[in-house]
Amino acid sequence: MTIRTTTALLTCAAIAAAGTAGAEIRLGASLSATGGAAFLGDPEAKTLEMLVEQLNEEGGIDGEEVELILYDDGGDPNQARTFATRLIEDDEVVAIIGGSTTGTTMSIASLAEDEGIPFISLAGAIQIIDPVREYVFKTPHTDRMACEKIFEDMQARGFTTIGMISGTDGFGASMQAQCKEVAGDYDIEIAADETYGPQDADMTPQLTRIRNTDGIDAILNPGFGQGPAIVTRNYSQLGIDTPFYQSHGVASDAFIELAGASESEGVRLPGTALLIADLLEEGDPQREVVTSYNDAYREQYGEAPSTFGGYAHDAFLLMTNAIREAGSDDPDAIRDALEATDGLVGTTGTYTMSEEDHLGLDLSAFRMLEITDGGWSSVE
């Protein structure tokens, strides 16, 4: 298999087109492999490259090899749209995987919808698939589902009053709004509501105000990137002992490393089976696919895969399964087959799509996890 690299802009280069010169099925991707969201896009890009290589070595899809044309948008929504345009008009791909962030996803989604190209997003915000767009799908649980999973756990622990400190980025703002919308369903009151910007380096004042609010049972931090790690360190520095929750936007070993093992001890968040691959029981329906991906990624890259790489794994699984089921690389046929996905087991959960549901996961796909001794443990 050959690797082709295309330079686009000095700060946003196409990182690789992994495939063969004679490939017959062309898949496109725009990911944030560099920049502030590289912790998302880098493992996603590595995963797609690895899976394309594996698939072609096994004979491709019904004998046809797959070419992956992959661009690095650096987390810039404008660049993501530019690359999506190039993928559709110049590279003539039949489908697109990508959108590491909500912002880049929404740029790609509008174009994919207009051009009739099936697109699977790797970002979390609910507005990606609600309302349903005909050609747009996604693999991560929504931010609304994350709120619901967290509130289920809080309710089980008898918590009724919480403080929230949210990032003002697209994901953080969306999850903040979703949590406010569903909190009442779990008899939870948000008594303190603080925010921080993507470039903020100290959230001590916001956390101090939350700590000084009477009756706070727990603290929730919707956000992704470096912000939640800073919040976690500040939380520890202030000596706050109120139970602390993060979102699935930081469900990776990189978060523990960035925040610090001791500082993040006891933090809970909803995550995927991939983070506890070695703890899955023999009868767990996800065990085989999670273990296979985990082992292959470690062998190829010498490091553990992340939840975000798992989202890319599932997107590729969904897309290639749809092409097989369609018996065609026609974009409309692929779209129809994606929507008909039924019981496909991935690293994130078991996907069953429909005309009304372009995610195909429910809360059972989430695992409530806790950081213990610098690693992940299940609290369910």
Q: What is the pLDDT of residue 170?
A: 85
- Pick the closest to residue 358 from 338, 337, 334 (CA basis): 338
102 contacts 112 by C-beta, under 8 angstroms = no
- Pick the closest to residue 350 from 141, 145, 142 (CA basis): 141
Distances (CA, A) of 211 to 108, 179, 188, 203: 40, 20, 17, 12
Q: Give the pLDDT band (50/70/90) at residue 190.
A: very high
Q: What is the pLDDT of residue 380?
A: 74
* Mean pLDDT calculated for residue range 365-376: 95
Q: What is the pLDDT of residue 9?
A: 36
Q: Say what angle helices 38-57 and 307-326 make with each other, to 10 degrees.
A: 40
Position 339, amino acid:
E
Q: If you average pLDDT over every residue of the chain, what do you get?
A: 93
Q: What is the pLDDT of residue 139?
A: 98
Task: Tell me whether domains 25-142+290-365 and 143-277 share a fold.
Answer: yes
CA torsion through residues 104, 105, 107, 111, sign: positive
Domain parsing of the chain, residue ranges: 25-142+290-365, 143-277
Give 271-327 pLDDT, tens digit per residue.
Answer: 999 999 999 999 999 999 999 999 999 999 999 999 999 999 999 999 999 999 999
| Gap between the Cα atoms of 76 and 128, Å rounded | 17
Q: What is the pLDDT of residue 6?
A: 36
| Gap between the Cα atoms of 91 and 84, Å rounded | 10
Question: Looking at domain 25-142+290-365, which CATH architecture does it have?
Answer: 3-Layer(aba) Sandwich (3.40)
Give 207-236 pLDDT, tens digit per residue.
Answer: 999 999 999 999 999 998 899 999 999 999
* CATH number of the structural domain 143-277: 3.40.50.2300
The Cβ of residue 180 has, within 10 Å, a number of other Cβ atoms equal to 14
Q: Give the pLDDT band (50/70/90) at residue 153.
A: very high
| Gap between the Cα atoms of 287 and 276, Å rounded | 10
| Ordered DSSP codes for 188-220 | -EEEEEEEE-TT----HHHHHHHHTSTT--EEE
The contacts of residue 56 (CB under 8 Å, 6+ apart) are 1, 19, 20, 23, 65, 66
Give 318-365 pLDDT, tens digit per residue.
Answer: 999 999 999 999 999 999 999 999 999 999 999 999 999 999 999 999
For residue 264, pLDDT over 90 is answered with yes
As given in the structure block, the two tokens for residue 258 are: 């960035």
Q: What is the pLDDT of residue 324?
A: 97
